[in-house]
């Protein structure tokens, strides 16, 4: 069967070579913490790339070539001191992005530039019309990185670097970001806090990470009120809550904002089997969200939508969630069954609960009241 849409796809083996060392999931090894992998390891991403090939999805995609984001590209978003430090530490033995949760090994400066540049390449292809939409399977992720520091496994703000490239070079002026990673998209929020031309919408687990950001009342700085929307969903939220948040908050907000292009921070850590989140989203839930966002892009910005990979730490489930999203982007069904469907698809967790509905209603109310 031929794909209905031309979907660009970015992956490079070098992304898997970003070395985050040994940790105990999120904590450093040592003392009583027996060394193990960092949750942010290559596994979930390289296995997703593997399933994209083995499922035959790769034949329905248009491979795009990632490139290294230049220093100039990075400096549109990040402080020079920060970029210089990452470059210096990377040339030595590696280091940390800045918060103690962002370890990186030798050579990660270039890999992080390839992640930001991969998102740029995906955006460029969508803007040029050589593809209808695109998925950049990049690593390290980016949505926690702030102007002056890395954070939460993120070194450079991949989505923001791509947005600033588009705004400077490709005639784009208004952009919407929708972030369904289980953690708050605090990096993009901080970078665009005072920018009324970038709408940021984050669905995340309430008070997970970072602990002190992501409140429903944080709606944008002076002159940009209403361009930052947080939907802090309670732990335990499933497909029903996520779909309701997309339909009742993200879709009307983005529709009225009328962006030139939509960027999606695509994290699969709301998965039912993720070690870092406490949500219960299934591959079908991710597919429904992606389909709603593709339809939204078709309605507001001629279909221009770019997904950039963020978190997602279940090596066994992320590949199926990622494949489901690619099915939504391409319109091509692989027929590959998700082995976790039998465990989670029928869970009562997917029914929208009153305490989830309350948060979504509050976010919708704030977004409506402040709509520009």
- Cis-peptide, bond into residue 156, ω within 30° of zero: no
Closest CB to Zn ion among residues 191, 366: 191
Q: How far is the CB of 185 from Zn ion (least distance, A)?
A: 9
The two tokens of residue 30 are 């040592």
Q: Counting contacts by CB under 5 A, is residue 259 touching Zn ion?
A: no
Q: Counting contacts by CB under 5 A, is residue 267 touching Zn ion?
A: yes
Kindly identify the residues of this chain, within the stretch 171-200, that bind Zn ion according to CB under 5 A: 181, 183
Q: How far, in whole angstroms, is CA 345 from its chain's centroid?
A: 23
Out of 269, 274, 327, 338, name the contact with Zn ion by CB under 5 A.
269
Q: How far is the CB of 201 from Zn ion (least distance, A)?
A: 16
The two tokens of residue 264 are 């999606």
Closest CB to Zn ion among residues 79, 206: 206
Q: How far is the CB of 187 from Zn ion (least distance, A)?
A: 11
Q: For the chain, where are the alpha helices, taking DSSP H only? A: 43-54, 71-75, 80-91, 108-128, 158-169, 186-191, 239-245, 251-257, 283-300, 318-330, 341-344, 354-370
Stretch that binds Zn ion, among 126-134, 265-273, 316-324, 349-357 (CB under 5 A): 265-273
Closest CB to Zn ion among residues 6, 183: 183
Active site residue 144: yes
Pairing mode, if any, of strands 261-266 and 95-96? unpaired
- Considering the candidates 18, 143, 144, 317, report the single residue annotated as catalytic: 144
Q: Counting contacts by CB under 5 A, is residue 142 touching Zn ion?
A: no
Q: Counting contacts by CB under 5 A, is residue 144 touching Zn ion?
A: no
Q: How far is the CB of 182 from Zn ion (least distance, A)?
A: 5
Please state the three-class secondary structure of 134-195 as a single string.
Answer: EEECCCCCCCCCECCECECCECCCHHHHHHHHHHHHCCCCCEEEEECCCCCCHHHHHHCCCC
The two tokens of residue 11 are 């992956």
Kindly identify the residues of this chain, within the stretch 276-315, that bind Zn ion according to CB under 5 A: 311
Catalytic (active-site) positions: 144
What residues make contact with Zn ion under the rule CB under 5 A?
181, 183, 267, 269, 311
């Amino acid at each position: 069967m031929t794909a209905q849409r031309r979907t660009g796809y970015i992956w490079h083996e070098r992304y898997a070579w970003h070395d985050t060392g040994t940790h105990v999931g999120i904590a450093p090894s040592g003392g009583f913490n027996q060394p193990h992998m960092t949750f942010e390891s290559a596994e979930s991403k390289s296995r997703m790339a593997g399933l994209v090939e083995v499922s035959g999805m790769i034949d329905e995609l248009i491979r795009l070539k990632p490139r290294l984001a230049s220093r100039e590209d990075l400096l549109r978003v990040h402080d020079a001191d920060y970029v210089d430090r990452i470059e210096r530490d990377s040339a030595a033995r590696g280091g940390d992005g800045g918060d103690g949760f962002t370890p990186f090994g030798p050579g990660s400066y270039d890999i992080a530039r390839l992640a930001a540049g991969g998102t740029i390449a995906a955006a460029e292809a969508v803007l040029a019309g050589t593809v209808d939409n695109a998925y950049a399977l990049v690593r390290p992720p980016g949505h926690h990185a702030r102007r002056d520091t890395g954070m939460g496994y993120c070194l450079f703000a991949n989505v923001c670097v791509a947005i600033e490239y588009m705004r400077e070079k490709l005639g784009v002026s208004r952009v919407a970001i929708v972030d369904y990673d289980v953690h708050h998209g605090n990096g993009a929020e901080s970078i665009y806090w005072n920018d009324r031309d970038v709408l940021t919408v984050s669905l995340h687990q309430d008070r997970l990470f970072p602990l002190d950001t992501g409140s429903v009342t944080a709606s944008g700085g002076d002159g940009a009120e209403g361009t930052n929307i947080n939907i802090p969903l309670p732990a335990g939220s499933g497909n029903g809550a996520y779909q309701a948040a997309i339909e009742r908050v993200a879709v009307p907000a983005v529709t009225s904002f009328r962006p030139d292009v939509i960027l999606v921070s695509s994290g699969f850590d709301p998965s039912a089997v993720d070690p870092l989140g406490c949500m219960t989203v299934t591959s079908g839930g991710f597919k429904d969200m992606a389909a709603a966002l593709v339809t939204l892009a078709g309605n507001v910005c001629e279909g221009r939508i770019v997904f950039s990979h963020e978190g997602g730490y279940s090596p066994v489930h992320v590949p199926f969630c990622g494949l489901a999203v690619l099915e939504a982007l391409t319109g091509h069904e692989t027929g590959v069954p998700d082995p976790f469907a039998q465990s989670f698809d029928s869970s009562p967790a997917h029914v929208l609960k009153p305490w989830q509905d309350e948060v979504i209603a509050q976010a919708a109310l704030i977004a409506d009241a402040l709509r520009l």
